[in-house]
Amino acid sequence: MKNHKWKRITLKVGSALIAPDRKGCTSRYLLHIAKFILQCRDMDIQVILVSSGSVAAGAHFFGNIENPSLAIKKAMAAAGQNEMMTSWDRFFDFPSAQILLTHGDLQDRERYDSVRETIFALLEHGILPVINENDTVTTDELKVGDNDNLSAMVAAAADADALIICSDVDGLYDKNPHTHDDAKLIKEVCNIGHDIFAMAGGAQVSGVGTGGMKTKIEAAEKATSHGIRTYIVNGFKESSFELLMSGINPGTVFTAYDLPMQENLHWMTHTSKAQGELVVESNLDHPLDEHSEQLTSNEIVEVHGDFSAGDTILVRSEDGKHLAKAEANYSSCLLSFINDYDSGEDGSELQHQTGPIISDKNIAVLEQEEPDDDDQNKK
């Protein structure tokens, strides 16, 4: 493959490509994607497939329900998952394996490592991992919500070299190409900032998937910070995959960080959900960095949420700035108890005896941006 040194890629395919009319799976758009997977494997490039489509594939079993309940959607997912896997299997003469995940599987470090080990074992034995969110059992607290972000988490867990996200447009445009004829394709993005997210305002128009361009940018942000080059391409066009095989960018490429985040810090930043918050003084005497063991209980202003020692928490300042995500050394119950003490002699003595609140070995410093309205409302 020209200009590529891929050893392992993650490919995300959405519902609109698998079951575009919600009447079961169709090979209409999947043939050229399957061909691309075969070509990659022939070149010893390992492929991890993140495939949506279970709900869309199973919808036809339930008649014409305009506004299905959550229970019906879960049933659709259960009925459609087998059809989706069967649809992929018919293209290949090698085995595939289904992995259904919730965010709970990824935000728990032990289960996250187990997922990594399973993916590596499948790849080592030439088996294609086909990953999807477990819509049948997931809840609001445990769901990722879209397979764009899930694909980035999977790509990071699998140490992929590239993430390829299929879209219904050629890539990221400076404005919605569905409504603006003068929209211009952005061929390369070196830094994902507010301006890039502003371009991603237009959601998909198919009405089949759960994501849009914004979730694809979020996924690119997660992946590139792990050193994973990310592409957004038009999955409906066979030429997109022909160009990729020729080493040509057919859509938008997001360049990877020159210095990727450490694996454990990337997991904490982009995968692990904060179980609570510590609000600290706006003007700390020291920065939150590798010396963050200096953060003590007397610098805590408020404690929010219900968390245990070892859980991931968000540390933010009184003015709403997100400072870091870190592993808590104490439970919210204990920290609230300490924080509720008056600043008298007994309280000072208890605070003095308390060790560091967060560990310098398990802290991910966040880019400090101005708080949005939701942050201010949490205060």
Q: Calculate the average pLDDT of the chain.
A: 83
Domain positions in the chain are: 8-266, 274-378
> Could you report the per-residue pLDDT of 225-236, keeping only the tens digit for each?
999 999 999 999
> Could you report the per-residue pLDDT of 27-38, keeping only the tens digit for each?
889 999 999 999
What residue type is assigned to position 43 of the chain?
A: M
> Could you report the per-residue pLDDT of 220-262, keeping only the tens digit for each?
999 999 999 999 999 999 999 999 999 999 999 999 988 877 7
pTM equals 0.80
> Could you report the per-residue pLDDT of 103-130, keeping only the tens digit for each?
888 888 889 999 999 999 999 999 999 9
**pLDDT > 90? residue 319:** no
User: Which pLDDT does position 288 carry in this prediction?
Assistant: 66
**pLDDT > 90? residue 40:** yes
* Lowest mean pLDDT, pick from 80-89, 170-179, 287-296: 287-296
Report residue 308 as tokens.
């245990």
Sign of CA dihedral 98, 162, 238, 252: positive
Report residue 361 as tokens.
């070995």
User: Which pLDDT does position 126 carry in this prediction?
Assistant: 96
Average pLDDT over residues 311-337: 86
Query: What is the architecture of the domain spanning 8-266?
Result: 3-Layer(aba) Sandwich (3.40)
Report residue 202 as tokens.
């237009």
pLDDT band at 347 (very low <50, low <70, confident <90, very high): very low
Residue carrying structure tokens 């038009």: 234
What residue type is assigned to position 152 of the chain?
A: A
**pLDDT > 90? residue 351:** no
Sheet hosting strand 128-133, strand order edge to edge: 96-101, 128-133, 46-51, 8-13, 162-167, 229-234, 252-254, 188-189
Is the pLDDT higher at 263 or at 372? 263
User: Which pLDDT does position 372 carry in this prediction?
Assistant: 45
φ, ψ for residue 119, nearest 5 deg: -60, -45
Q: Which CATH class is domain 274-378?
A: mainly beta
